[in-house]
Amino acid sequence: MVRDRYIVHVDMDAFFAAIEQRDNPAWRGQPVVVGSDPKGGRGRGVVSTCSYEARKFGIHSAMPISTAYQKCPRAVFLPVDMEKYSLVSRQIHRVLYDFTPEIEPIGIDEAFLDISGSYHLFGTPRQTGVLIKKRIKEETGLIASVGLAPVKMVAKIASDFGKPDGLVEVTKEKLFDFLWPLEISKLWGVGVKTRQSLNEMGIRTIGHLAKKDVNELKKIFGVNGEHLWFLANGIDERDVEPETSAKSVSNETTFAKDTADQDEIDSSLMWLCEKVSGRLRSAGLKGRTITLKIRVTGFQTYTRAATIPEPTNFVDVLYQQIQNLYKNFKFRKKVRLVGVRVSNFVLSGFQGDLFKEKTDSKTEKIHQAVDAIKRKFGEDSIHRGRTNAGPNFIRAT
Ligand code: TTP
Ligand code: MG
């Protein structure tokens, strides 16, 4: 049975590119690509995002920047200005908190809101959606797409469905009219392999899956089969989970040339640990899960993660974990990209181990002093011994 809930999913349109177009009127209506430097088609790295005008040329997020350049050399190519985008992101979150405290931010430009208990303050659920869009436009000058549905997954599909400048409401009564004709890969948890297996069973739409015998699905796909069947039938018990405003902090870098030079890789890893550690501390966060990402020549991408008992934002702890992960990771090809991510957060006031508290508070003081120097003299004023000048930075999420 589908519950009486009103979940809103908000997702900004072409977020980074829309901010740049807002700030530079000459770029409005133009193909704008935000990402690494295309260097006349020889650039490395990827597209972060692009304006809808650029999407008409087939450009999209995560595409190599050189391909984007080939598709539309006359596009406006801009670097990522994460500081500016984070500021806008915080403005948007503040607007959303005027509608409900039940907010689950996802990444920089997206959030789920549970307005079941608050929509009556603003009219109907749909009117609340309209008002959310209007307030975001007033505060930031930017356009959000909004989806409204009784379950999270459908709210997200709905916001995407209406893009750009969308407002799609899927009521409880219309849920299956909306959901069932959709292609099976729209369902959360259906990746390339599951999709292929489902297609082989003649299941192409979410509706096909919903009408299958759940026991048959369980036999083939285990608990995941049952889970997918529930989702296809509009049953998704997941609540909007309010929490700290980010799920992970990460930085990654693409080398100017694929490399097997251990010193170069090592110093980049240290540089990334410093970056992530600094961002965690300025957000007042500590995390327990540390993830290493490696992309090798040929674009294959691997991740390895470690979860430690004590949450941390200390650069040395991060670096030690990352080094271990790197050492235990066997691969032969040259490295194209490395990334460091910390997730599984607690607020940094938390202390689990009383014995460790003394040494931690000393290390904390050292970190604070480093942060203060950086604030005063700039990001590159102080580095660890291992770090060289910052490599070309592409993405922080
Ligand atoms: P998205 O919401 O996925 O994309 P978007 O807002 O640019 O476009 P739309 O939602 O209208 O389809 O991501 C939000 C921002 O995150 C995006 O503006 C740039 C950044 N981003 C990357 O840096 N790399 C990526 O691969 C993706 C998908 C997004
Ligand atoms: Mg978006």
- Residue 11 CA to ligand 2 center (angstroms) comes to 5
Q: What is the pLDDT of residues 293-329, one digit of tens each?
A: 998 888 777 888 888 888 999 999 999 999 999 998 8
Is there an atom of ligand 1 within 6 Å of 78 CB?
no
Q: Best mutation site among 15, 145, 337 for ligand 1, i.e. most ligand atoms within 8 A of its Cβ? A: 15
Using a 10 angstrom Cβ sphere, with 0-12 exposed, 13-18 middle and 19 or more buried, the burial of residue 386 is middle
**pLDDT score of 189:** 86
- Residue 185 CA to ligand 1 center (angstroms) comes to 19
**pLDDT score of 353:** 44
Q: CA 286 to CA 283: how far, in whole Å? A: 9
CA dihedral 318, 322, 325, 329 (to 10 degrees): 170
Angle at which helices 82-97 and 15-23 cross, to 10°: 100
Q: In angstroms, how far is CA 265 from the centroid of its own chain?
A: 25
Is there an atom of ligand 1 within 6 Å of 251 CB?
no
Is there an atom of ligand 1 within 6 Å of 116 CB?
no
**Of all protein residues, whose CA lies closest to atom 22 belonging to ligand 1?**
48
* 110 catalytic residue (yes or no): yes
Q: What is the pLDDT of residues 258-271, one digit of tens each?
A: 999 999 999 999 99
Active-site residue among 20, 53, 110, 252? 110
**pLDDT score of 380:** 58
CA gyration radius for the chain? 23
For residue 397, the ligand 1 atom closest to its alpha carbon is 23
First to last CA, the chain: 37
**Of all protein residues, whose CA lies closest to atom 24 belonging to ligand 1?**
48
Is there an atom of ligand 1 within 6 Å of 252 CB?
no
Q: What is the pLDDT of residues 92-130, one digit of tens each?
A: 998 998 898 788 888 899 999 999 988 999 999 999 999
**pLDDT score of 395:** 33
Q: CA 146 to CA 164: how far, in whole Å? A: 10
- Residue 50 CA to ligand 1 center (angstroms) comes to 8
**Of all protein residues, whose CA lies closest to atom 10 belonging to ligand 1?**
13
**pLDDT score of 382:** 58
**pLDDT score of 281:** 87
**pLDDT score of 299:** 76
Is there an atom of ligand 1 within 6 Å of 62 CB?
yes
Look at the alpha carbons of 192, 165, 155, 81 in this order and tell me if their dihedral is positive or negative: positive
**pLDDT score of 348:** 53
**Of all protein residues, whose CA lies closest to atom 5 belonging to ligand 1?**
14
**Of all protein residues, whose CA lies closest to atom 15 belonging to ligand 1?**
15
**pLDDT score of 69:** 98
Each residue's pLDDT, cut to its tens digit, for the chain (397 residues) gives 555 789 999 999 999 999 999 999 999 999 999 999 999 999 999 999 999 999 999 999 999 999 999 999 999 999 999 999 999 999 999 899 889 878 888 889 999 999 998 899 999 999 999 999 999 999 999 999 999 999 999 999 999 999 999 999 999 999 999 999 999 999 998 989 999 999 999 999 999 999 999 999 999 988 889 889 999 999 886 778 776 545 788 998 989 889 999 999 999 999 999 999 999 988 788 998 899 999 888 877 788 888 888 899 999 999 999 999 999 888 789 999 999 999 888 755 444 444 445 556 667 777 777 776 666 666 555 555 554 434 333 333 3
**pLDDT score of 381:** 56
Q: Best mutation site among 49, 145, 159 for ligand 1, i.e. most ligand atoms within 8 A of its Cβ? A: 49
